[in-house]
Amino acid sequence: MSHRTPAQGAKGLRRSLHFVPGGNDRMFAKALALPADSLILDLEDSVTPENKEAAREHMSNWISATDFGAQECLVRINPQDTPWGRDDLDAIMEVMPDGIVLPKVATRSDVDTVDAMMTQLEAAMKVEVGTVSLLLIGTEVPEAVFNLPEMARNSRVDGITWGAEDLSGALGAKAKRDEQGNYLEVFSFVRSVCLLASVAGGAHPVDAVYVDIKNSAGLERESKTAADMGYRGKITIHPNQIDIVNRAFTPSETEISEAAELIAAFDEQQAAGKMAFTHKGQMVDVPHLRRAREILAIAAHIAGQTS
């Protein structure tokens, strides 16, 4: 079976995906100056029920009037089984963000239904089908965990993240982490499933938010672990988290140098008819080459943004 290559965002890297409360002009203006790769403008948890409609209109006006530049514009709408979900989808699709963040999905059918509605809206606006992507928050209900591989294979889905907060409530869990700050086993399992399902389906794997906003050292450790695992980015909820997250998902100078050296070694060995050989005391083959190329591609993209 063939798979899509794990996607980046509409505008490139998705190291940091930063939540911005809907309807808050001050936070929105500030977010545009932050170093986040993506902004997630939120209509769900950060907006009270009585303000949902006003925030939706306000956000639509924001998006229509704003040049997001290199930042990806994503919008988290309300779940489709709420009074606001369908109206959110209709209104936000009219202003064409880069993507929709879809919360509390449980099955492939949930995803396909929203995909079909988005296709109809794109057709009505005479834009290419699939112009607006879907990023799923795919583990907020327990049954979703077992459906992630199928949900990831929907062609519009280009990113999946997971969340411990809602899942914890659904499970009736007393805690999410142990005394050392590590996820308890069930949450660690879900984190791994999200990564595996995302990559298998060709979607961009995004690690969950770190809610202890004053614990920079803890965020740094968790971000490094996520990057080491294979996650490509992480959600942030406070501006002070963004630089820490960006560093974790940016190749170091040493990694870049070693990747370039490895690619040069592959070029030399391939000319001799070899694709598996010993390099610095370790056996390397095609997966190592693929990873080296990805490191250089990320570094080149960052260099292009800062030049």
User: How far is 28 from 21, CA to CA, in rounded Å?
Assistant: 8
- Counting the structural domains of the chain, the total is 2
Asked whether residue 8 is domain-assigned, the answer is no
pLDDT score recorded for residue 241: 98
User: CB-side exposure of 208: number of CA atoms within 13 Å?
Assistant: 22
pLDDT confidence bin for 305, thresholds 50/70/90: low
37 inside domain: yes
Do 196 and 272 belong to one domain? Answer: no
From 250, 266, 289, give the residue that closes a domain: 250
What is the per-residue pLDDT across 273-286, written as a single tens digit (0 to 9) for each?
988 999 999 999 99
**Same domain for 299 and 194?**
no
Same domain? 270 vs 198? no
Is residue 219, in this structure, part of any structural domain at all? Answer: yes
User: Which parts of 66-177 are beta strand (E)?
Assistant: 72-76, 99-102, 133-137, 157-161
pLDDT digits (tens, 9 = 90+) for 180-223: 999 999 999 999 999 999 999 999 999 999 999 999 999 999 99
Give the residue, 71 or 138, on which the prediction is more confident: 71
What is the structure's pLDDT at 144? 96
Output the pLDDT for position 2.
36
Three-state SS for 194? helix
pTM: 0.90
Domain of 291, in residue numbers: 254-306
Query: Which pLDDT tens digit goes with each residue over 108-123?
Result: 999 999 999 999 999 9
Q: What's the pLDDT score for residue 7? A: 58
pLDDT at 299 over 90: no
Same domain, 179 and 40: yes
